[in-house]
Chains A and B, each alone.
Chain A
Amino acid sequence: MTLTITLEFSGGMELLFNNEKSKQVTLPETFTPGSATLKELLPWVRDNLLTERAELFMQGETVRPGILVLINDADWELEGELEYVIKDRDTIVFISTLHGG
């Protein structure tokens, strides 16, 4: 069994991901359903989907400050952040906070 999730990039994040705003991905089998977490997902996204420099997306094992992660339309802080266990059909959004006006 594999996990299929939707990744979305918004607020300018898409420009780091080949200008794709939404992408459905089936995670490789190293992601065990029921135990694979966002801690594993972030480096996978960085290594497989990111088209710009890694430090624009990640800092240490988490996302770069200024990037908000949403899990099914809720702030990931409400869902355990890096410890969140990925479920099949989850939608995970990476959104850059905007400063312009």
Chain B
Amino acid sequence: MSGDEMDVAALQAEIEQLRTENAALKASAASGAASLLSIPFTVGRDDSGATTELTNAEIARFSRQLLMPEIGVQGQLKLRNISVLVVGCGGLGAPAIMYLAAAGIGRLGVVDYDVVEASNLQRQIIHDEPKVGMRKSESAKATVNRLSSFCDCTAYDMLLDSSNAMDLIKPWDIVVDATDNVATRYLLNDACVLLNKPLVSGSALRMDGQLTVYNYDGGPCYRCIFPKPPPAETESQYTSITFDFRICSTVPGIIGCLQALEVVKIAADIGAKFSQKLLIFDATFGSFRTIKLRGRSPACAVCGDEPTITELIDYVQFCGSGPSDKTPTQRILEEVDRITVEELGEFRKAAHSHLLLDVREKVQYDICSLPHSLNIPLAELEGRLPDVRAAARHGPNTSGTLPIYVICRRGNDSQLAVQMLQKTGFGQAKDVIGGLETWARDMDSSFPTY
């Protein structure tokens, strides 16, 4: 090989090396804002074991919020190192859990005791059709795992009560109240006060939503605002007037998103602005109004200066109602004033003349009804007794009055209706035990339930 040839070979080797270096640099630059931000690429940990540096993958994943000065690298690390417990995987919990996982919260706990039902899917978007029948907490965890490999999610398939709440909540930094009942709300509040955790609380019903943060930044707790639960003796009537089972799909979604936002703000030290403030969302008006709440009450039973509640109490007893969101079956009438769905089926088959009075609201009657029934909603019954009288006289037996069977969705309102009818001259009125839900279950599986 001549000297010239040797020079050419050396130059070619040098060019090759430069090409390799160039390609490596290009790849590095293409991997995102990483090299521009001059962030170290190794993962460090401080004495507590918390991550002190972001990985390349984390930088690529969360770049859009890393570039926000409000969050930045330090904020993202805080999200990475914080743990959040979301109690309730329903309408509020669904979007809250998904946004928290997506935003980079490092550890999420999701709690629910229920299973996914078809009627949940309209608003609980963390669950989908193949998950009907699955435990809600497991379903939520599966969605989180698909959504992000950066979130360590633990599912708790359990009903929270005084015996398990303290142990469950203790290891978590922030608690999200995404529950649906007053007993669990008091339970979570007291546990968070006793364990000194911020409680990001949301609620939604019909077209209304509310949001606040309790026990944070020197502000009040739930008990400071509501020292006494709503009286149990009027609650079922209030519930039936205010239709507590109605809910517009996006309303809890909006509140759940706001809960996730407040958690991120607390976690990243931006600060939550809803301590001692209540956001009231009215979806009918399209209005968001934030009002100022009272401060922490020195007389509060749990967070006051001389607390009387120093450990968890019996919340079902305190509230007079439990955490189940299913309507309890009431027993108002005596056996003699009631008939079973089987008896009703026999009467209908035998063309036994009777008046079937359906006392559900019109919107429910429109969904499904038994043929030849008369719909008079319970709320209108008192004013429409002449209609009942006319209908009960109708038919072949015009000289007398027909038996009246009163039906509703579950058999509670129908008992109230029979009570009213019996007091106003319709002694023959009887209630159908268990209502249309029982009819669908025992007599006609093709009859819809809702």
Interface positions of A (Cβ within 8 A of B): 10-12, 15-16, 21, 52-53, 55-56, 59, 64-66, 68, 70, 73-75, 77-78, 95-101
Contact = CB atoms under 8 A, between A and B. Distances in A.
A98 B203 contact: yes
Main secondary structure on chain B at its contact with chain A? mixed
A99 B181 contact: yes
Contacts, number: 98
A101 B203 contact: yes
Interface stretch (B27-35, B90-98, B306-314): B90-98
The CB with the most chain A CB atoms within 10 A, among B93, B210, B231, is that of B210
A15 B293 CA distance: 24
The CB with the most chain A CB atoms within 10 A, among B88, B92, B255, B292, is that of B292
Contacts of A52: 241
Interface of B: 88, 90-93, 178-182, 185, 202-206, 208-210, 225-231, 234, 237-238, 241-244, 247, 252, 255, 278, 280, 282, 284-285, 289, 291-294
B292 A73 contact: yes
B180 A100 contact: yes
Given A11-B208, A15-B241, A56-B241, A101 B93 contact: yes
Contact of A12 (B208, B227, B228, B278): B208
A74 B225 CA distance: 13
Given A10-B208, A98-B205, A101-B88, A65 B231 contact: yes
Contacts of B282: 10, 21
Contacts of B241: 15-16, 52, 56
A65 B228 contact: yes
A12 B203 CA distance: 13
Contact of B291 (A16, A53, A75, A100): A75
A56 B192 CA distance: 30
A51 B204 CA distance: 24
